[in-house]
Amino acid sequence: MREISAVLQEQRQFFASGKTRELAFRREMLLRLQRLINRNEQAIFAALHQDLKKPACEAYATEVGMVRAELSHALKKLGTWARPRRVRTPLAQFPASSYLYQDPYGVALIVAPWNYPFNLALAPLIGAVAAGNCVVLKPSELASATSTLLARLLGEAFPEHYLAVIEGGIEVNQALLEESFDKIFFTGSVGVGRLVMAAAARNLTPVTLELGGKSPCIVERDANLDLAARRIVWGKFLNAGQTCVAPDYILVHEEIKDDLVRRMVQQIAQFYGADPAQSPDYPRIVNRRHFDRLQALLQKGQIVTGGTAVREDLYLAPTLIEAVDWQDPLMQEEIFGPILPVISFATLDEALQIVEGQPRPLALYLFSNNRKVQRRIMAEVSFGGGCINDTILHLANPNLPFGGVGTSGMGSYHGQASFTAFSHQKSVLKKALWLDIPLRYAPYAGKLKWLKLFLR
């Protein structure tokens, strides 16, 4: 890899040439990305399997398929998104018209995590390319097979002065953050998010931060328990729980707790068989450090099902756990693995008090068919996004911007929001020449009463 600063200098030059502003160029780059993905699907599956033992079906649903859907959506909508948008002009400005121009930021840095190493590198990239930026992409070193593959495929398909993949770990990322970018898009942990924002502050670089946190899943007394159990178990144990929007803990009404737990245990067996270690559909923990961290979380509480851990295989069984305390490390940090604590509540007030006592979560899931309960939670609780009567799937609708709030992140992407995340909205008022109302010019004598008439 060449010097980062040399790559950046070339990208600046290329951006200044104006090429990336051409819609035909952007469209061609998106099509090139699309072809590259279509041709290399098997290699992508293999890399994801090597990194996390992801089954192909899961890899397609949560990574390749989502990226393909984002790509086709962007290709379809690019013309509309990029067009200057006319907005209304107040009467006081007459005669004039007003426009929002979508301006690419310039050279953007995208830093990706390891848990969905393909999707979380390429979905932001689609937004950056559609919006007309040059990009430096840093995949996660912890998903090394995917990182290597991305570097090779993108390296072969795109010139470095337009799109450069820079592989590496913390030091490389620190070196990147020393440089001055026009936009930084970071997906990862809250702690590193703070470092990224501090580094960005030095150059006043705008940031999008896609971070994490403990996402609650509330199950009310009236919930459809079979569906709740199935959809929670799916959303939690997908990617062995290593999902930023996985339900982190369950808050369930005390009257139905045992029933829900029983059904979730059954559901785990239905998905992964009696011994999930043998299932081809159950992924592994990314590395030993995370494995040890997760195993340590199991020291407290009462395991209802699961708990089996095989270090050499990085296997941690889908685990339900009860009798946890909010002081336990399990409840103090984002779990980010296949451990699901179940906590009961007596009243919705109590459940909401628990949720609101925590930092604002990236996601919230509610299982209840009661409209009053649904309305109350939507009106009262602050969270990034979520689902009513499902988990995870809000991510898969490109018309729903995805992002956090508070410590779970700032800014959003997916669909048009990805385009907006990488664009500056240039606001322009276009004044007519045929009339110049003298009200604003000195001398002001006698003009105040007229000003008050127009400007209020």
Active site residues: 210, 244
Contact assessment for residue 134 and residue 108, using Cβ atoms and an 8 Å cutoff: yes
Cα(152)–Cα(146) distance, integer angstroms = 10
Contact assessment for residue 178 and residue 206, using Cβ atoms and an 8 Å cutoff: no
Residue 227 CB, shortest distance to ligand NAD, in Å, is 25
* Complex with ligand NAD: residue 62 or 344, whichever CB lies closer: 62
* Complex with ligand NAD: residue 11 or 239, whichever CB lies closer: 239
DSSP secondary structure string for all residues of 324-373: --TTSHHHHS---SSEEEEEEESSHHHHHHHHHTSPPPSEEEEE---HHH
- Which burial class, exposed, middle or buried, applies to 270 when counting CB atoms under 10 A from its CB (0-12, 13-18, 19+)? exposed
Residue 117 CB, shortest distance to ligand NAD, in Å, is 9
Q: Please identify the residue of the shown chain whose CB is closest to the bound ligand NAD.
A: 212
* Complex with ligand NAD: residue 223 or 392, whichever CB lies closer: 392
Tell me: cis bond preceding 341? Omega within 30 of 0 counts: no
Residue 167 corresponds to which amino acid?
E
Residue 359 CB, shortest distance to ligand NAD, in Å, is 12
* Complex with ligand NAD: residue 336 or 367, whichever CB lies closer: 336
* Complex with ligand NAD: residue 132 or 212, whichever CB lies closer: 212
Tell me: cis bond preceding 95? Omega within 30 of 0 counts: yes
Residue 348 CB, shortest distance to ligand NAD, in Å, is 26
Helix, strand, coil percentages in the chain from 3-state DSSP, rounded to 5: 50, 20, 35
Sign of CA dihedral 41, 42, 43, 44: positive
Residue 137 CB, shortest distance to ligand NAD, in Å, is 10
Contact assessment for residue 335 and residue 294, using Cβ atoms and an 8 Å cutoff: yes
Locus of tokens 């906590």: 343
* Complex with ligand NAD: residue 155 or 169, whichever CB lies closer: 169
Residue 186 CB, shortest distance to ligand NAD, in Å, is 7
Contact assessment for residue 380 and residue 372, using Cβ atoms and an 8 Å cutoff: no
Tell me the two tokens of residue 413. 């992407």
Cα(171)–Cα(177) distance, integer angstroms = 10
Cα(447)–Cα(174) distance, integer angstroms = 58
* Complex with ligand NAD: residue 67 or 82, whichever CB lies closer: 67
- Which burial class, exposed, middle or buried, applies to 185 when counting CB atoms under 10 A from its CB (0-12, 13-18, 19+)? buried
Q: Is residue 96 classed as helix, strand or coil in its secondary structure?
A: strand
Phi, psi of 62 (to 5 degrees): -105, -10
Locus of tokens 């398909």: 157
Phi, psi of 53 (to 5 degrees): 55, 40
Cβ atoms < 10 Å from Cβ of 292: 13
Residue 341 CB, shortest distance to ligand NAD, in Å, is 17
Residue 197 CB, shortest distance to ligand NAD, in Å, is 12
* Complex with ligand NAD: residue 132 or 404, whichever CB lies closer: 404
Residue 423 CB, shortest distance to ligand NAD, in Å, is 20
Contact residues for ligand NAD (CB under 6 A)? 111-115, 120, 138, 140-141, 169-170, 173-174, 187-189, 192, 195, 210-212, 244, 334, 336, 362, 404, 409
* Complex with ligand NAD: residue 26 or 138, whichever CB lies closer: 138
Q: Are strands 302-305 and 249-253 parallel, antiparallel or unpaired?
A: unpaired
